Amino acid sequence: MNYKETLEYLYNSTPLFQNVGKDAYKEGLDNTIKLDTYFGHPHKKFKTIHIAGTNGKGSCSHTIAAILQSAGYKTGLYTSPHLIDFRERIRVNGEPIEEEFVTNFVTSHKHFFEPLYPSFFELTTAMAFLYFAQKEVDVAVIEVGLGGRLDCTNIITPDLSIITNISLDHTQFLGNTLAEIAREKAGIIKHGVPVVIGEYTSETKKVFTDKAQNTGTEIIFAQDNELVKNVSKDKEGHFIYHTDEIENLYGELNGYCQLKNTNTILNAIKKLKETGYNITHKDIINGFKNVCGLTGLMGRWQKLEEKPTLICDTGHNTGGMKYIVEQLSNMKYEQLHIIIGMVNDKDINGVISMLPQNAIYYFTQASVKRALAANEIKAIGNRHGLQGEAYDCVKNALLAAKEQANENDMIFVGGSTFIVSDLIVLYKNHK
């Protein structure tokens, strides 16, 4: 098999969550443990940092990896989903896993894993851990796929655990209340491993505190330890964070959600330094300033064009959308155009109800099986007072928006990671 054939094999013979949703979710760690044993427990051969949470875990994972790279650590990074190519999920010092490794992994080991009927994520997690071990990374930043307690990344014993925040998402797997979801996320908290909690509510704080007490774990609530003293902006709208230790910390990521993420990251870095990591102010500054170049991060309040301004963001639930809507309301433009699509297992009414009514809408659908049909999301939008037309794909929605927009307008594309993926693929192919 070549690389393309290998990916087709992976996508078609293992349940892929982005395509089929709940049918791809396998509760329990049985397959993960069998795979880990077969490969010789590769996750024990390098240090790890484990990151869970409803929103912000991708930005935090990438930024922490960028800081560690800047500090001279050979750094693995495992995140999901990918936007353009599978190889984005598994990186070492920002470089994606080689096509040859992916192909050899499947062809050499499918005799073992095929009888297990693993999920796509179970298999790719095993691949990532084996790759990091063979590359002899110093440390790997591991993003939880879903939840925490039963997520297949949860076989690691990290140097630090991080839980960014909790909001209602994936309720069909994790629970219908914030406390129930927090319990699943808190499953990554382990005995003797310090944990940083980015944000909490009265409902979730007790869950985290109880879990930390039961495991004899130090818990740091970043929300109660504001390391960012104030924030300003440069002329391009990027945040400049001011802390007691770093006077001007430039943030390449400038979505409003990064204000909370940054405080979480700084608390995490502080704890890593206390546990023996050699990280300087210069490393932190370089990591924040160059996170996209260092790690390949895309789709976080990413500007793709000007005149009209075209921005995309992967925020896809109410917790993420509240920041997007606030940021859109504070931007300058003559007319706002919003290209929106969602997948069918999200709180669609909750997200749609938050969107501004003074925008022109282009309801569309992503190229994944879970995508909500454009006409369906249009009907929901109409019920919430949003006006616009339905388009069968992101490309056609974008063409329509560009045709209607003038150079002083703004086009926002979002609602789903997969909508943003389709958009970025368009731009890559166009170039």
pLDDT tens digits, 150-179 = 899 999 999 999 999 987 554 455 656 888
Residue 327 and residue 277 in one domain: no
Residue type, 168: L
d(CA 291, CA 265): 13
> Are residues 59 and 144 in contact, defined by beta-carbon separation less than 8 angstroms?
no
CATH of residue 49's domain is: 3.40.1190.10
Q: Provide the pLDDT confidence category of residue 364 given band limits of 50, 70 and 90.
A: very high
Residue 288 and residue 326 in one domain: no
Which pTM does this prediction carry? Answer: 0.93
pLDDT tens digits, 276-329 = 999 999 999 999 999 999 999 999 999 999 999 999 999 888 888 999 999 999
Q: Provide the pLDDT confidence category of residue 18 given band limits of 50, 70 and 90.
A: very low
Residue 317 and residue 267 in one domain: no
The answer on pLDDT for 46 being more than 90 is yes
Query: Of 240, 271, 295, which residue is a domain's last?
Result: 295
Residue-number span of the structural domain to which 179 is assigned: 3-295
pLDDT tens digits, 68-100 = 999 999 999 999 999 999 999 999 999 999 999
d(CA 292, CA 299): 10
User: How many domains are there within the chain?
Assistant: 2
d(CA 181, CA 187): 10
Angle between helical axes of 57-70 and 258-274 (0-180°, round to 10): 40
Q: Which residues contact 150 (CB under 8 A, 6 or more apart)?
A: 27, 28, 29, 184, 187
d(CA 431, CA 429): 5
pLDDT tens digits, 238-289 = 899 999 999 999 999 988 889 999 999 999 999 999 999 999 999 999 999 9
Query: Of 264, 295, 326, which residue is a domain's last?
Result: 295
Q: Would you state the torsion angle of the CA atoms of residues 94, 98, 102, 107, taken in this order, to the nearest 10 degrees?
A: -160
Query: Of 241, 265, 295, which residue is a domain's last?
Result: 295
The CB-side HSE value for 95 (13 A sphere, CA atoms) comes to: 9
- For residue 160, the cross-strand partners are 49
The pLDDT assigned to 19 comes to 45
